[in-house]
Amino acid sequence: MNIYVNQMGYLPNSRKIAVFAITQSPDAPAPSISGKASLHTSEGICILEKEPVAFGFDEASGDYVFQMDFSEVTECGTYVIKWNDKTSYPFTVGTELYSDLNILLARALYFQRCGMELSAEHAGKFARPSCHTAPSVLWIEYEKFLAGKLTENDMQTFDIRGGWHDAGDYGRYTTAAACALGHILYAYRFFPDAFTTDLNLPESGNGTPDILNECRYELDWMLQMQAEDGSVYHKHTTLHHAGFVMPHEDTHQMLLLPTSSMAVGDFVGTMALASRIYRPFDEAFANRALTAAKKSYGWLEAHPEFLFEHIKECGTGGYGDRSDFDERMWAAMELYRATGEAHYLTDARTFFDKQEHPVQFGWADISGFAGWALLEDELMQTSDASFAGPDTLSSAETEFRIAYKELFCKEADHLLDVIASCGYGVALSPREYCWGSNLNVLNRGMLFGTVYRLTPKQEYHAAVVRQMDYLLGVNATDYSYVTGVGAHAFCNPHNRVPASDGIDETIPGFVSGGANGTRWVDPLAKELLPEGTPPMKCYADRWECYSLNEITIYWNSPAIFCAAFLDSVK
Ligand code: 9MR
Ligand code: ZN
């Protein structure tokens, strides 16, 4: 039997559920285990005794599960739970847990910075030299160069620097960047009070909140990804992933891979959003971002067809897609918010009507971002009048808002049922444990947070808590999926920097991709996880396992959103 708790801990007034699990086959009789579990302070004083309630067999984990709700424990402190000779990892009840977590999650992005030295002052023992500063060339020319049809001197060069390394690899990808920035900029928009702490960045103290300073590093890179004609390169990587070397040791030719309509739509959405968010801090940048967004929107209008070319010679991340309706919708919606021009709203509505289920916040489907933009003033609930929404709404907008709210709420209610059907309280059905399943978990957390702002039902709040609980230890692997957080946190991410920096400790604050129960996995995962392993247990804390244990900017970013929600809606 195992006891699973949120290894970081719980907010004093939030829902608190511990899970007790016994692995067995689905048709075995209920285990004969009973009696009261107890909760003890760090001084060993028992302050609660309670009988765990049988949930029954849980398909995703292959466990027979009991649950214990101990929400009545509201006193701050450190505790353990005991049941039948087993003791949980220690956990804390405290008010600042999620703000402390957010500092780590955001600082992890600083450690992903490309194109600048990370100094000891800001990076401590993880200081490292600058990387990837050599000029880039276009793939379409490089291809000819490789074929001997163009000399090196005939290739145009582009001085593009900066941004965050996407993940455990050193590539930078436009749609992945937009996804992460969308999560974080909206987290800041909806929960600004959660972002007042200094992050010890080189820019700290410049009058701009540090979370925006960090995002600006990515935005400045992204602006450079726009081509003359308003199209936007899909990615900026080498031809193949680097070996496991430090970033400055990866000196392969940097390439600009051809545009995709998703990259253009995402670029427009991100820049138009940034123009609004940064305006109070940097007017010139806001204007630049808006001008860039409008230019690329012109490209989208002139190119209504879906465009994505998979370059088979290039081994770095694909970030392929089958539809760009979501990106086009978001682009239009953000430009509507940034300019108030009604034709953008009409365009957004057209793309909305073409989609089945536009409520996602992942890199492939970012449709939900348009919902955030549309409902922004209702989601902000701020007393700051300068952020208030329009006084009167057009009937088109009113009607669109109602439709979007209905969709969000319906999805949240459906997901509450999914949570109820899972012994661990995670909003994933057993077949949804795919590559980067923690993004799905956190996406759902963000959705619950969104809907809570529209209809403040306690169950939605508890649902956000339970997605974070899953991430931080209430899952069948026994791991906290955030480095450095919890007594049993994963510590061998698939990430070239910690794997090659020679430092024992891993950089804290990174979110693992998590369990992947599909058969699309890396060779070591295949070897370690026999066929039939329950999906929630398809995980290994091994640096080799890129399909189970990589880190990415857009797995940290939804955790930042959820943590900010919990930090500000306590
Ligand atoms: O996060 C991506 C995941 O959803 C896909 O299934 C997987 C395979 O295409 O790719 C993941 O993205 C990787 C990207 O292609 C390159 N950088 C590392 C990303 C995380 O593994
Ligand atoms: Zn780099």
Q: How far is the CA of 321 from the centre of ligand 1 (A)?
A: 12
> Distance of CA 367 to CAs 358, 360, 511, 554, Å?
5, 6, 23, 15
Considering only CA atoms, which residue is closest to atom 3 of ligand 1? Answer: 435
Pocket of ligand 1 (CB under 6 A): 166-167, 169, 171, 317-319, 435-436, 546, 550, 552
Considering only CA atoms, which residue is closest to atom 13 of ligand 1? Answer: 317
Find out whether 490 and 512 touch, Cβ atoms under 8 Å. yes
Does some domain include residue 261?
yes
Does some domain include residue 360?
yes
Pairing of strands 17-23, 77-83: unpaired
Listed residue (123, 110, 198, 105) closest to 509, CA to CA: 105
Does some domain include residue 327?
yes
> Distance of CA 344 to CAs 181, 261, 326, 336, Å?
21, 17, 14, 5
> Distance of CA 157 to CAs 160, 256, 552, Å?
9, 10, 28
Phi, psi of 182 (to 5 degrees): -60, -45
As for how many domains the chain has, the answer is 1
- Active-site residue identified among 132, 165, 241, 494: 494
Catalytic residue at 169?
yes
Q: How far is the CA of 421 from the centre of ligand 2 (A)?
A: 43
Note if the pTM is more than 0.95.
Answer: yes
Does some domain include residue 11?
no
Q: What is the DSSP string of 447-462?
A: HHHHHHHHS--HHHHH
* pLDDT averaged over 10-residue windows placed end to end, the chain, 570 residues: 98 98 90 94 97 97 98 98 97 98 98 98 98 98 98 97 98 98 98 97 98 98 98 98 97 98 99 98 98 98 97 97 98 97 98 97 98 96 57 91 98 98 98 98 98 96 98 98 98 95 96 96 96 97 98 98 94
- Active-site residue identified among 63, 169, 214, 411: 169
| Strands (DSSP E) found in 511-558 | none
H/E element, 259: strand 254-259
Catalytic residue at 283?
no
Does some domain include residue 418?
no
pLDDT score, position 389:
60
Does some domain include residue 221?
yes
CATH number at residue 357: 1.50.10.10
Q: What span, in angstroms and rounded, lies between the C-alpha atoms of 83 and 34? A: 9
Structural domain that includes position 298: 136-380+391-409
Does some domain include residue 375?
yes
Pairing of strands 17-23, 37-41: unpaired
Does some domain include residue 429?
no
Q: What span, in angstroms and rounded, lies between the C-alpha atoms of 570 and 564? A: 10
- Ligand with smallest separation from the Cα of 134: 2
Find out whether 425 and 417 touch, Cβ atoms under 8 Å. no
pLDDT score, position 387:
54
Place of tokens 């004083």: 45
Beta-bridge mates of residue 494: 550
